[in-house]
Structure 1
Amino acid sequence: MRPETKSLALHLGLLALLVIAQFVISPFHHGNLSRIMVLAVFAMGYNVLFGYVGLLSLGHALFFSAGMYGMGLAMQHLGVSALAAIAVGILSAFVLSAVVGAVALRTTGVAFMIVTLMLAQAGYLAILYFGTYTRGDEGFVIQPEFRTIAGLDLTDPTVRYFAAFLVLAVCLLLTLRLVHSSFGRVLVAIRENEERARMLGYDVFRHKLIAVVISGTLSGTAGAVYGLLFGYVGATFATVQYSILPLLWVLLGGAGTVIGPFIGTLFMFYLIDFSSGLTSAYMVVAGVVLVLLTLFAPQGLAGEVKRRLLPWLP
């Protein structure tokens, strides 16, 4: 069996397990898994840039919040439907990621990291400055009666679960297709040796810019969907914390693997949930576990599986 066929079967198997989980898990885990699936899309977007191009960004909260606020403001102030608002959110993230990419890619290394961080902070401050429309730190709630698509009530737990699942499935399979494409292989070549890729005739800047746009658009999609499904849009999602979290999820799950972001998001979510039930200093427990994983599984959970058992894992 070809590696591409094996990897497709593996990822379809994961999606099948998520469908089955809807019918067997408790309401508590049901709600958690809905959030995890959407946040995993955010991590997938980050992984495209960090895992496959090798660019460390500290500004992805900007794209997540762009999608969220693009969706939320369109519904709150323009009165557009939920589906059209999702499209506005995705378009906002697409345009913003193109602008950020064009600016930030003029730098390299640590400078790229700092520029993305500063641009994300500028986005956060803009949300606070235009508090008349964004409600600043307080944020705003999207009323349940507006959270419907094609007659489906997104406040219903089952509908919300399958909406999150649909977004995850589409983004997962698109990412898998990207990785197996010639474009994806060029991104890996740039990650491994940028100068050699340039010497072979590839337009490195163009490939990086497209990767930033894809990464930002995926992250913005997650933001728009998260805001709609859970009914809240707030400045918290534009803070530095939401630029660090996808990095942690990707590192834990395995950078440069398609399935890694989902595994890392799932693991981190339940690690914090479990440790918070043991002690109020739950972040210390989570920190110790993260350090141990970094020491003994430096390539992440899926990365170690790839290294030891499944070398064909994309």
Structure 2
Amino acid sequence: MRGGGARAWTLHLAVLVLLLAVQFVLPAYHHGNLARIMVLASYAVGYNILFGYTGLLSLGHALFFAAGMYGLGLAIKLGGWAAGPAIVAGLGAGLLLSLAVGALALRTSGVAFMIVTLMFAQAGYLAILYFGAFTRGDEGFVIPREARMIMWLDLADAATRYFVALALFALCLLFCLWLMRQPLGRALIAIRENEERTEMLGYDTFRLKLVAVAISGTMSAAAGAAYALLFGYVGASFAAVQYSILPLLWVLVGGAGTVLGPFLGTLFMFYLIDIASGLTTAYMMIAGVVLVMITLFARSGLLGEARRRLWGWLP
């Protein structure tokens, strides 16, 4: 156990060091892409805590991503807040929404939980469109460069944006790695494996699942707030059902219940679509075929299969 833990920490820290190093040699196009991927991978890490480790399939996480994005964006646009306090507003919006949605949705289970979370997300999306006078609806709004400053840091600068995206991803990744070695993380995994037996052992599974929803939703909101701040745009498309499906795909492709899987899945899917779109207008068909192949031949995801076949110590 200790050896596996040391190897796991070494591996994940090495990945972060590699991400830090490559930014000095990447072309501008891939430099910007990787910054975007790290923010979206942070979103996927948050989703993985709920789906991959706790076993709760949510189709409503776009609500939390958008809560962070709009919480920050509207605080800056309407309230004239500085970036720092606006980040707190985005995180607070994500935490409160996740607690409220979790308290209601967790009264159901299975397919019903999936449908209820989807309904909440759709309600959030429609609310953004309905209050278009404030949110600008489908059009969205741009956060001006002068508002994207934290102290002396210009978050619109490419290098600064990359470092901040890396810092967010590192925080989410290492937190997940740490959490899954704590009693709380072990209890969440126990719920995934057998909730009835976990209850018999004396655990309050409803409370534990609510904590998982809150952690997952807040982490997703952090990614949404970071996306708005780093890339300067807030739009309703980020609250649509597509952004509830995408983290599920990223986690499944990379490996549900693995710490690095969400990053690997996000990286793989981002460049698969990017490369395929340069070859044909039917790029989603190519992506679909690849996803089917992964489902058939790597049912545990890319990293999940590596853990099953080669490195059983991978967390």
TM-score bucket of the superposed structures, by smaller chain:
over 0.9
**Structure 2 counterpart of 1:164:** 165
Aligned to 2:130: 129
Q: Structure 2-normalised TM-score? A: 0.99
Residue 159 (structure 1) shift: 0.4
Q: CA deviation at 1:268?
A: 0.2
Query: One-letter code of the match for 1:25?
Result: L
Tell me, yes or no, if structure 1 residue 272 matches structure 2 residue 273.
yes
CA distance in 2: counterparts of 1:148 and 1:206, whole angstroms? 38
Q: C-alpha separation between the residues in 2 aligned to 1:309 and 1:210?
A: 33
| C-alpha distance in structure 2 between counterparts of 1:51 and 1:100, whole Å | 19
> Distance in 2 between the 1:207 and 1:6 partners?
28
Residue equivalent to 1:11: 12
Match of 1:55 in 2: 56
Question: How far did residue 207 of structure 1 move?
Answer: 0.4
1:134-213 correspondence to structure 2 within 5 Å:
134-213=135-214
| Offset, 1:127 | 0.5
1:18-37 alignment to 2 at 5 Å? Answer: 18-37=19-38
Q: Which runs of 5+ in 2 are unaligned?
A: none
Task: Name the % identity.
Answer: 66
**Aligned-partner Cα distance in 2 for 1:108–1:170:** 30
What is the CA-CA distance between 1:152 and the residue it aligns to?
A: 1.0
Q: Distance in 2 between matches of 1:44 and 1:19?
A: 19
Q: Which amino acid aligns with 1:273?
A: D
- 1:104 maps to which residue? 105
What secondary structure is seen at the aligned counterpart in 2 of 1:106? coil
User: 1:243 and 1:36 mapped to 2: Cα distance?
Assistant: 16
Rounded to whole Å, the distance in 2 between the matches of 1:35 and 1:90 is 19
Aligned-partner Cα distance in 2 for 1:199–1:122: 36
How far residue 2 of structure 1 moved from its aligned partner, in angstroms, is 1.9
Question: How far did residue 3 of structure 1 move?
Answer: 1.5
Residue 107 of structure 1 deviates from its aligned partner by: 0.2
Residue segments in structure 1 that go unaligned for 5+ positions in a row: none
Counterpart of 2:253?
252
* 1:84 counterpart residue number: 85
1:16-43 CA distance string (max 9 Å, x none): 0100111111110000000000000100
For the residues of structure 2 that align with 1:175 and 1:152, how far apart are their CA atoms?
Answer: 27
SS at match of 2:180: helix
Deviation at 1:84, TM superposition (A): 1.1
Aligned equivalents of 2:88, 2:35: Cα separation in 1: 20
Q: What is the Cα deviation at residue 75 of structure 1?
A: 0.4
User: Counterpart of 2:263 in structure 1: which amino acid?
Assistant: F
The C-alpha deviation readout for 1:18-73, integer Å capped at 9, x for no partner, is: 00111111110000000000000100111000000111000000000000000000
Match of 2:226 in 1: 225
Task: Give the CA deviation at 1:230.
Answer: 0.3
CA distance in 1, matches of 2:312, 2:207: 29
Report what 1:118 is aligned to.
Answer: 119
Cα distance between partner residues in 2 of 1:300 and 1:11: 18
Q: What is the CA–CA distance in structure 2 between the aligned matches of 1:169 and 1:287, rounded to whole Å?
A: 30
Amino acid at match of 1:237: F
Distance 1:270 1:95 in 2: 34
Displacement after TM superposition at 1:267 (Å): 0.2
Compute the displacement of 1:257 (Å): 0.4
Q: Where does residue 298 of structure 2 map in the other structure?
A: 297
TM-score (structure 1 length as normaliser): 0.99
TM-fit CA distance, 1:146: 1.0
**1:180 & 1:6 partners in 2: Cα distance?**
14
1:293 & 1:235 partners in 2: Cα distance?
Answer: 31
2:67 corresponds to 1:66? yes
**Deviates further, 135-144 or 1-10:** 1-10
Instruction: Classify the secondary structure of the residue corresponding to 1:23.
Output: coil
Letter matched to residue 50 of structure 1: F
- Structure 1 stretches of at least 4 aligned residues deviating more than 4 Å after TM superposition: none
2: CA distance, partners of 1:2 / 1:217? 32
Mapped to 2, the partners of 1:68 and 1:101 lie a distance apart of 20
3-state SS of the aligned residue for 1:279? coil
